[in-house]
């Protein structure tokens, strides 16, 4: 059972859209959060929920609002994807510093098929904010990381996103299958050696989240669908799963982790 309010839409034979509304953390949502929180953040680390929530609370307490929006959006995307049966081949928390993970926002597998996820978020108060804008930005970032290009289109990203993915997948607490780790390692080595790939070779999950200003206004799902359909030709991947999320505010998650 998925307690989040969502609808699903088929855009084409290779593209689907999920639209999620998060007005509040209801008791059923709290139950799945409690069950999945440690797994999303640390995998099968054995840490208890209270300790990991304290870790995340301490981390969030040091950050500015834009960072908090991005991290909160990414966390709930991880939650939804996990609840739909995908295996998380990464950790929400970064391995080496007081932050969330770098590289790809998410690396998932389901039925031996691997997926790359990227999440972008913004406030409803931002100028020209739109779901299509955030999804397009997520898609552009994924494509740039895969192709080894910076924002100007030049080759030579300073960081190898596959290396970070491999580091996460190699953690015992993540439990990634050997064949998946082997595949990521090959992609990492190729990237290091200047052998870059095309985004069309991979299954992608570009995600766009908009935070309201604390007052819930029911999003028009038909309008969101049309918004994403208008950019469908810009969304690349062997298969594409677009996810659009509306949150009432970041405060509901801040309360859950004990910051409000």
- Whether the CB-CB separation of 177 and 210 falls below 8 Å is answered with no
Q: Which tokens belong to 211? A: 């935070």
pLDDT at 12: 97
pLDDT in tens, the chain (260 residues): 899 999 999 999 999 999 999 999 999 999 999 999 999 999 999 899 999 999 999 999 999 999 999 999 999 999 999 999 999 999 998 755 566 656 799 999 999 899 999 999 999 999 999 999 999 999 999 999 998 876 666 665 567 899 989 999 988 789 999 999 999 999 999 999 989 999 999 999 999 999 999 999 999 999 999 999 999 999 999 999 999 999 999 999 999 999 87
CA distance 166 to 209: 27
- Whether the CB-CB separation of 159 and 103 falls below 8 Å is answered with yes
Number of neighbouring beta carbons within 10 Å of residue 172: 9
- Whether the CB-CB separation of 217 and 255 falls below 8 Å is answered with no
- Count of residues in the chain: 260
The b/e string for 32-51 (b: 16+ C-beta within 10 A; e otherwise) is bbeebbbbbbbbebebeeee
Burial class (CB in 10 A: 0-12, 13-18, 19+), 233: exposed
pLDDT at 156: 59
Query: Rg of the Cα trace of the chain?
Result: 18
pLDDT at 149: 76
Number of neighbouring beta carbons within 10 Å of residue 153: 8
Tokens 């609002």, residue located: 65
pLDDT at 99: 61
pLDDT at 97: 58
pLDDT at 1: 82
Angle at 155 between CA 150 and CA 160, to 5 degrees: 75
Q: Give the torsion through C-alpha atoms of 56, 58, 60, 62, to 10 deg.
A: -150
Residues 6+ apart with CB under 8 A from 245: 19, 20, 21, 22, 73, 76, 77, 80, 207, 208, 209, 210
């Amino acid at each position: 059972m998925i307690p989040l309010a969502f609808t699903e839409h088929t855009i084409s034979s290779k593209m689907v859209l999920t639209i999620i509304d998060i007005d509040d953390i209801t008791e059923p949502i709290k139950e799945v959060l409690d069950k999945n929180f440690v797994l999303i953040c640390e995998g099968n680390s054995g840490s208890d929920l209270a300790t990991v929530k304290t870790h995340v609370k301490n981390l969030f307490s040091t950050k500015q609002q834009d960072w908090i929006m991005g991290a909160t959006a990414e966390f709930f995307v991880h939650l939804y994807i996990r609840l739909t049966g995908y295996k998380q081949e990464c950790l929400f928390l970064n391995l080496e510093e007081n932050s969330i993970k770098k590289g790809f926002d998410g690396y998932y597998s389901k039925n031996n098929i691997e997926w790359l996820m990227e999440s972008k978020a913004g406030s409803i108060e931002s100028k020209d904010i739109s779901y299509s804008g955030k999804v397009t930005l997520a898609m552009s970032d994924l494509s740039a990381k895969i192709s080894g290009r910076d924002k100007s289109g030049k080759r030579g990203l300073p960081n190898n996103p596959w290396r970070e993915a491999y580091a996460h997948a190699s953690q015992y607490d993540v439990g990634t299958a050997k064949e998946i780790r082997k595949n990521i390692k090959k992609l990492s080595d190729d990237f290091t050696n200047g052998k870059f790939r095309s985004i069309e070779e991979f299954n992608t999950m570009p995600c766009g989240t908009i935070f309201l200003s604390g007052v819930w206004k029911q999003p028009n799902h038909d309008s969101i669908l049309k918004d994403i359909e208008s950019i469908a030709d810009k969304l690349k991947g062997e298969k594409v799963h677009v996810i659009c999320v509306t949150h009432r505010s970041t405060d509901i998650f801040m309360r859950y982790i004990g910051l409000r």
